[in-house]
Amino acid sequence: MESDPNKIIGEVTQSDYKYGFVTDIETEYAPKGLSEDTVRYISGKKNEPAFMLEYRLKAFRHWLTMKEPKWAHLEIPPIDFQDIFFYAAPKKKKEYESLDQVDPELLATFNKLGISLEEQKKLSGVAVDAVIDSVSVKTTFSDTLSKYGILFCSMSEAVQHHPELVKQYLGSVVPYTDNYYAALNSAVFSDGSFCYIPKGVRCPVELSTYFRINAANTGQFERTLIVADEGAYVSYMEGCTAPQRDENQLHAAVVEIVAMKDASVKYSTVQNWYPGDKNGKGGIYNFVTKRGICKGNNSKISWTQVETGSAVTWKYPSCILLGDNSVGEFYSVAVTNNHQQADTGTKMMHLGKNTKSTIISKGISAGKSNNSYRGLVRISKNATNSRNYSQCDSLLLGSGCGAHTWPYIQVENKSSIVEHEATTSKISEDQLFYCQQRGMNAESAIGLIVNGYAKEVLKQLPMEFAVEAQKLLSISLEGSVG
Amino acid sequence: MLLSIKNLHASINGKEILKGIDLDVNEGEVHAIMGPNGTGKSTLASVIAGRDVFEVTAGEIIYKGKNLLKLAVEERAREGIFLGFQYPVEIPGVSITNFMRTAVNEIRKYKGLDPLGGGAFLRLMEEKKKLVELTSNLANRSVNEGFSGGEKKKNEIFQMAMLEPTLAILDETDSGLDIDALRVVANGVNKLRTKGNAFMVITHYQRLLDYIVPDFVHVLFEGRIVKSGTKELALELEEKGYDWIRKEQTTDDRYQISDI
Amino acid sequence: MQGAVKQCITKELMLTLYGDRRAVISANDYPGLTALRDDAIRRFQELGFPTTKLEAWKHTDLKESFAKEYDVVLKADDAVDVQKVFRCNIPHLDTAIMGQLNGEYVSKDVPLMTLGNGIIMGSLAEAMKKYPALIEAHLGKYADSVTDSFTALNTAFSRDGVFIYVPDNVKSPKPVQIINVIHHDENLFLQSRNLIVLGKNSRLSLVHCDDSYNHQPSFSNVVTEIHLGEHAFMDHYKLQNLNNSSTLISSVYFQLEAAAGLESHYISLNGGLLRNNLRLRFNGPHGNANIYGIYLMDRKQHTDNQVFVDHAFPDCTSGELFKGILDEHSSAVFNGHVLVERNAVRTNAYQSNRNILLTETAKINSKPFLEIYNDDVKCSHGSTTGQLDQDAMYYLRQRGIGEESARMLLMYAYADEVIGKIAIDPLRRRVEDMVKKRLQGELQICEACVLHCNTPENPVEFTIDMTKI
């Protein structure tokens, strides 16, 4: 039968990764493997002040005492941490005065990725920081931003130029003791983005970082810190891609967000790391700790993520709702195909009074993949009149995949209301038939339906991202879903 | 006078909805409250009934000579205020019979009357069901659960008949009803009209007023009563539409501003 | 009690006791059973007692239960005044009563009887002697002595309990009621084992009650295995009304063959620490199971419901609805786990857990979990925790009903969704009564137990008359 959904799904899931090229850029590496010397090498390369080195070493020593978390619904072969380059940088980087001095290969890379720094700078009004392998290569728009007192630069620069802010906030939301990968990141993080929005400032442009792993056998450990001072607002976007390689690569990032009184931070991610091939060979291991704290009253942190890439995803962007009336949001679309595995979700920790959180999670699994939502909602004793609403749906495409939902709900407060709902089902054959009857081919019908299914989340994305994300959804499911 | 509202201001979450309502209602009267969506009609009904999400920031409501705003929701109900809800809530697990029996007997207790026994109560139910032409068997169904829109509204009228209020406020009881259900609802109201009670009929359309003929019509716009008249006003509204009021209001405002 | 010495229950004590008393424990065993015990004790030795470090025990801490000293029951006294102990007097409830005192089957006349229709009921120990082949075909086949340490320990130690066998095509004319009473002057640690086998196309209503008669602490580790043959149907009730010093670990393992049906009801009214492990496996297609639970806790009581449903075959349907009302310092855990295996196409599964907290000190941990390996399914779950519906409160009050009455009405209505599913009318009326009492804070141990109400002739007068008129 022409419209056998399994067949369609089979066809639609076979598409190839579009960002799998390798850029030929001269790269400088730290010696392979991990030891105190590696940590010292990285810190030395970056000319870091003593407090940073000390922080890294403390983190490293703590990491040695820890074990990899095993609780997630993931099968991960053991990782040999001695077989990884913990630092790789495009060799000719140094200081760029203007884009003209950037390695043309690098610029070409960004153009291929659809982020022409040049154009971004002039036209789109999006300030971009690009991190390739381990270092930030260019930040656009810094001048414009500095007029508002906004600091937006690479983490390395922040350590040099704003050590007091780094010292105050780095590790304040995700301490190095938090988990195995956060400890690792704290020891060896190479670069990342730093952003500070002063009191009462509404950041006039979208801030954006583009992450790219290029070099082989390289781990990427970027560190992002966003601080929104009282009454400030910022919308931040993050995109990621990597070349197609047969071996697995490790990505263990940490993102910390601090929102003071009346501040609001919106963090959007389109994660498209290389997911591995059809047989599950290669791909990125994506172990990321993202957490924000609503420190002041009436603050708000909103996470939106579209997860289509990575062989393995382990990621729970979370909110600590400390301030009274603070708001946490988590909107997620996670697509897994072929042999991908994702265990993703969020934690909403309600500590302040009248705190509110919303969780909308849409999982889509195809091929032989496993896709898990794991989320914790905790209402503490003092968080009176708090409210949570969670809706976690899973869509299954094909008989070989798995979809799992693990909500953890802990309530210690009688005046609060927590609601969790979830459904798991396959794509509706009635909807497919309806679309096809109106003349669509199966692929575009599936693409349409899946986009509709994810719409609640996609509409949360900034314009610049939404279009890309929609395309990505269709592409990811191509040959499995259109 | 049964009800006297003076300079009533009310807000929700800091947003002011009612901006100075003045309204007097006497026994035996039917008042129609009309107006476009979102102008505060339902808020007015809720404030009279005592819904606590609304905060009364100024003004007063005197009902039967008492300060109504000091009474709890159920005390107002026991004093004879009945609100026919626009969207009656579903209460699974509570059968209509138990619900009504509890309500009737708590109100009787408040009035110093003995509770109704099982037999007497059932007879009362049957009598009132007939009065409002309710044919379906309610006894074992949960309150409003799985009811169609029409059934819910008929059930509101049935409850009104059971509780015999002095002031009945019907909040858009006509919305979503087909013409037959509308006639049933209106007949119920007309049968319950006496010299001793009053009705406040909130509606968006003139249609209902063909069946329940009002003594007075008030137009609510942006939190104030901007026009009052007799039933002819409803017809005029039907003909000219709410844009007429809107235009008139904005013209008035401009006039006032330039006047200053 | 033979060889009873009051002591703390530890892994070491259990291992030593098993070594020393193996002969007593296995006195009635058919040949294969002793080997099963030996395997189980080895597994227990590896697993030990669970601690809060285990995910499945994270929110249920047994520390206080283990801190007390208990008499370990290996073999009970023989002399019991049966008539005095079992006095079930729910009006009009006509059941065949099977008594169990401190874990041992207590016979009114004979330890094992065969009814005219072929139903066998009585002591499991006796049945092992009389029908070893029948027992061997089922005992230990459904219970998990490999990963569950309490079940492993029970398999090693348990000597007796209730046995029921309903032959093919037989429908039990009246409900069978197991009354498990704990009544002893000293603290008790006991482990009993029940086996219930329903043949093809048979039918049984089973009411299983756990009661305390006094305030003495006890620790029970009870395992029940229930096998439903093809097209068999069981209506199953668990009523728990134990004292506040009791610990009950109740593990019930169901296996449903093709097209079997189960309606199970867990009604927890009182207990110190209640842990209900319910594991159900669909072992053939077209099975159907509904599991309902209501728990009403107060003081420092804790209840933990662990419900695992394994959809191993296609075309099965399962539903779970657990509702709780938590007062004072009580706490509750709900862990639901639905597993849909790769080949279990056209599965329909639903999980729901709802909780109402009445105080700032009550706690709930809810984890409804769906694990699905197949796209041809319809699965959903929901969990809500909060207050009574405020819109409904307003509606009731607008009709003149006072706040307290309105609250009681809504709480009762909330519980009624579960209680209303009880299919045995006299039992449902009694449970309704108990719940009303419980909601009004009038229910206390002894006067309170489900089956031994002191004044059954005077049903509870609710301030709101909830009975149908």
Report the neighbours of B using a cutoff of 3 or more CB pairs below 8 angstroms: C
pLDDT of residue A246: 67
pLDDT of residue A19: 64
pLDDT of residue A130: 62
- Do B74 and C469 count as a contact with CB atoms less than 8 A apart? no
Sign of the alpha-carbon torsion through C9, C10, C16, C22: positive
Does residue C25 fall inside a structural domain? yes
Distance CA C308, CA C349 (A): 12
Q: Which of C58, C330, C376, C385 is the mutation pick for testing A, counting most A CBs within 10 A?
A: C385
**Cα-to-chain-centroid distance, residue A262:** 25
Does residue C371 fall inside a structural domain? no
Q: Nearest C-alpha of chain A: how many angstroms from C145?
A: 23
State the average pLDDT for chain C. 87
Over pLDDT 70: what percentage of chain B? Answer: 95
**Domain ranges (residues) in chain A:** 21-426
Using a CB–CB cut-off of 8 Å, the residues of A that contact C are 71, 73, 381, 394, 396-399, 401-426
- Do B103 and C466 count as a contact with CB atoms less than 8 A apart? no
Distance CA B168, CA B160 (A): 8
**pLDDT single digits (tens) A127-168:** 566 665 555 555 556 667 888 899 888 888 899 999 999 999
* Contact residues, chain A, for C383 at CB < 8 Å: 407, 409, 418-420
Using pLDDT thresholds of 50, 70 and 90, give the confidence band for residue A251.
confident
- Return left, alpha or beta for B233; rule: phi > 0 is left, psi -120 to 50 is alpha, else beta: alpha
Q: Does C381 touch chain A (CB under 8 A)?
A: yes
Q: Does C216 touch chain A (CB under 8 A)?
A: no
Among the partner-chain residues C401, C416, C420, the one whose CB lies closest to the CB of B102 is: C401
Least confident piece of the model among C67-71, C95-99, C336-340:
C95-99
- Do C413 and B110 count as a contact with CB atoms less than 8 A apart? no
**Domain, as residue range, for C408:** 389-469
- Segment C426-430 shows an average pLDDT of 88
Of the two residues C81 and A452, the one the predictor is more confident about is: A452
Distance CA B36, CA C285 (A): 58
- Segment A212-229 shows an average pLDDT of 80
**pLDDT single digits (tens) C141-192:** 999 999 999 999 999 999 899 999 999 999 999 899 888 888 777 888 999 9
Q: Does C378 touch chain A (CB under 8 A)?
A: yes
Does residue C148 fall inside a structural domain? yes
* Domain at B3-248: CATH architecture: 3-Layer(aba) Sandwich (3.40)
Tell me which DSSP letter residue C171 carries. B
State the average pLDDT for chain B. 87
- The nearest alpha carbon in chain B to C419 belongs to B93
Helices A36-45 and A50-64 cross at an angle (nearest 10°) of 150
Cβ contact A157:A95 at 8 Å:
no
Smallest Cα–Cα separation from A319: which of A335, A330, A307? A330
Using a CB–CB cut-off of 8 Å, the residues of C that contact B are 389, 391-392, 394-403, 405-406, 409-410, 412-417, 420, 464-466, 468-469
Q: Nearest C-alpha of chain C: how many angstroms from B49?
A: 7
Smallest Cα–Cα separation from A77: which of A345, A313, A285? A285
For residue C132, give the H/E element and its range: helix C132-138
**C127: how many CB neighbours lie within 10 A of its CB?**
26
* Contact residues, chain B, for C414 at CB < 8 Å: 93
Domain final residue pick, C284, C314, C337? C284
Q: Nearest C-alpha of chain C: how many angstroms from A73?
A: 10
What's the token pair of residue A162? 């704003």
Cβ contact A41:A30 at 8 Å:
yes
List of residues 6+ apart from B202 with CB closer than 8 A: B32, B33, B34, B41, B42, B44, B45, B169, B170, B171, B172
Of the two residues A408 and A85, the one the predictor is more confident about is: A408
Residues in chain B: 260
Cβ contact B18:B61 at 8 Å:
no
pLDDT at A5 over 60: no
Cβ contact A330:A295 at 8 Å:
no
Tell me which DSSP letter residue C59 carries. T
- Which stretch, A202-216, B245-259, C224-238, has highest mean pLDDT? C224-238
Query: Quick one: how many helices (H) and strands (E) in chain C?
Result: 10, 22
Q: Nearest C-alpha of chain C: how many angstroms from B258?
A: 46
- Segment C254-259 shows an average pLDDT of 97
Chains A and B contact (Cβ–Cβ under 8 Å for 3 or more pairs)? no
Q: Does C359 touch chain A (CB under 8 A)?
A: yes
Distance CA C128, CA C37 (A): 15
Smallest Cα–Cα separation from A267: which of A233, A294, A235? A235
Of the two residues A468 and C273, the one the predictor is more confident about is: C273
- Do A416 and C368 count as a contact with CB atoms less than 8 A apart? no
Do residues C145 and C271 both lie within one domain? yes
Question: Please, which residues 48-77 of chain C have a Cβ atom closer than 8 Å to chain A?
Answer: 55
Distance CA C88, CA C231 (A): 31
Report the neighbours of C using a cutoff of 3 or more CB pairs below 8 angstroms: A, B
- Segment C271-283 shows an average pLDDT of 95
**Domain ranges (residues) in chain B:** 3-248
State the pairing for strand pair C261-270/C288-297: parallel
pLDDT at A476 over 80: no
**pLDDT single digits (tens) A316-356:** 999 999 999 999 999 999 989 889 999 999 999 999 999 99
- Segment C408-436 shows an average pLDDT of 89
pLDDT of residue C444: 52
Q: Nearest C-alpha of chain C: how many angstroms from A357?
A: 14
List of residues 6+ apart from C217 with CB closer than 8 A: C68, C70, C187, C188, C245, C246, C247, C272
Establish, for the pair of chains A and C, how many residue pairs have beta carbons separated by less than 8 Å.
Answer: 112
pLDDT of residue A12: 45
Cβ contact B167:B25 at 8 Å:
yes
Distance CA C350, CA C380 (A): 5
Least confident piece of the model among A413-417, A455-459, B46-50:
A455-459
What is the number of alpha carbons within 13 Å of residue C448 lying toward its C-beta?
A: 26
Q: Position of tokens 């909040």?
A: B171
Using pLDDT thresholds of 50, 70 and 90, give the confidence band for residue A114.
low
Q: Does B159 touch chain C (CB under 8 A)?
A: yes
Q: Does C454 touch chain A (CB under 8 A)?
A: no
* Contact residues, chain C, for A411 at CB < 8 Å: 355, 357, 363-364, 366, 385
Establish, for the pair of chains B and C, how many residue pairs have beta carbons separated by less than 8 Å.
Answer: 89
Cβ contact A272:A471 at 8 Å:
no
Q: Which of A382, A417, A420, A426 is the mutation pick for testing C, counting most C CBs within 10 A?
A: A420
- The nearest alpha carbon in chain B to C391 belongs to B89
Does residue C179 fall inside a structural domain? yes
Chains C and B contact (Cβ–Cβ under 8 Å for 3 or more pairs)? yes
pLDDT of residue A127: 55
- The nearest alpha carbon in chain B to C404 belongs to B74
- C300 backbone dihedrals φ, ψ, rounded to 5°: -100, 25
pLDDT at A116 over 50: no
Domain final residue pick, C225, C250, C284? C284
Does residue C277 fall inside a structural domain? yes
pLDDT at B89 over 80: yes
What's the token pair of residue A56? 């890294």
- Do B98 and C465 count as a contact with CB atoms less than 8 A apart? yes
Smallest Cα–Cα separation from A394: which of A374, A379, A380? A374
Tell me chain C's radius of gyration from C-alpha atoms. Answer: 22
- Do B97 and C391 count as a contact with CB atoms less than 8 A apart? no
| DSSP H stretches of helix in C215-330 | none
Distance CA A161, CA A95 (A): 14
* Contact residues, chain C, for B113 at CB < 8 Å: none
pLDDT of residue C466: 36
Q: What is the SS3 assignment for C36?
A: helix
What is the number of structural domains in chain C? 2
Helices A36-45 and A180-188 cross at an angle (nearest 10°) of 50
Tell me chain B's radius of gyration from C-alpha atoms. Answer: 19
What's the token pair of residue A51? 């407090």
Task: Give the distance between the most distant pair of CA atoms in chain C.
Answer: 71
- The nearest alpha carbon in chain B to C401 belongs to B103
- C169 backbone dihedrals φ, ψ, rounded to 5°: 65, 10
Q: Does C457 touch chain A (CB under 8 A)?
A: no
- The nearest alpha carbon in chain B to C416 belongs to B93
* Contact residues, chain B, for C389 at CB < 8 Å: 89, 91
SS (H, E, C) chain A: CCCCHHHHHHHHECCCCCCCCCCCCCEEECCCCCCHHHHHHHHHHCCCCHHHHHHHHHHHHHHHCCCCCCCCCCCCCCCCHHHCECCEEECCCCCCCCHHHCCHHHHHHHHHCCCCHHHHHHHHCEEEEEEECCEEEEECCHHHHHHCCCEEEEHHHHHHHCHHHHHHHCCCCCCCCCCHHHHHHHHHCCECEEEEECCCCECCCEEEEEEECCCCCECECEEEEEEECCCCEEEEEEEEECCCCCCEEEECCEEEEEECCCCEEEEEEEECCCCCCCCCCCEEEEEEEEEEEECCCCCEEEEEEEECCCCEEEECCEEEECCCCCEEEEEEEEEECCCCEEEEEEEEEECCCCCEEEEEEEEEEECCCEEEEEEEEEECCCCCCCEEEEEEEEEEECCCCEEEEEEEEEECCCCCEEEEEEEEEECCHHHHHHHHHCCCCHHHHHHHHHHHHCHHHHCCCCHHHHHHHHHHHHHHCCECCC
Chains C and A contact (Cβ–Cβ under 8 Å for 3 or more pairs)? yes
Cβ contact A12:A477 at 8 Å:
yes
Distance CA B239, CA C35 (A): 92
- Segment A105-118 shows an average pLDDT of 54
* Contact residues, chain C, for B107 at CB < 8 Å: 400
- What ipTM was estimated for this complex? 0.79
What's the token pair of residue A210? 């583009």
Q: Does C214 touch chain A (CB under 8 A)?
A: no
Do residues C132 and C12 both lie within one domain? yes
Q: Does C365 touch chain A (CB under 8 A)?
A: yes
- Do C397 and B92 count as a contact with CB atoms less than 8 A apart? no
Does residue C320 fall inside a structural domain? no
Cβ contact C409:C464 at 8 Å:
yes
Among the partner-chain residues C361, C375, C377, the one whose CB lies closest to the CB of A398 is: C375
Q: Does B103 touch chain C (CB under 8 A)?
A: yes
Q: What is the SS3 assignment for B168?
A: strand
- Per residue in B81-102, is it b (16+ CB within 10 Å) or e — as a string? bbbbbbebbbbbbbbbbbbbbb
Residues in chain C: 469
- Segment C130-142 shows an average pLDDT of 95
Does residue C374 fall inside a structural domain? no
Q: Does B95 touch chain C (CB under 8 A)?
A: yes
Distance CA C407, CA B196 (A): 33
Among the partner-chain residues A73, A399, A410, the one whose CB lies closest to the CB of C374 is: A399
* Contact residues, chain A, for C381 at CB < 8 Å: 405, 420-422
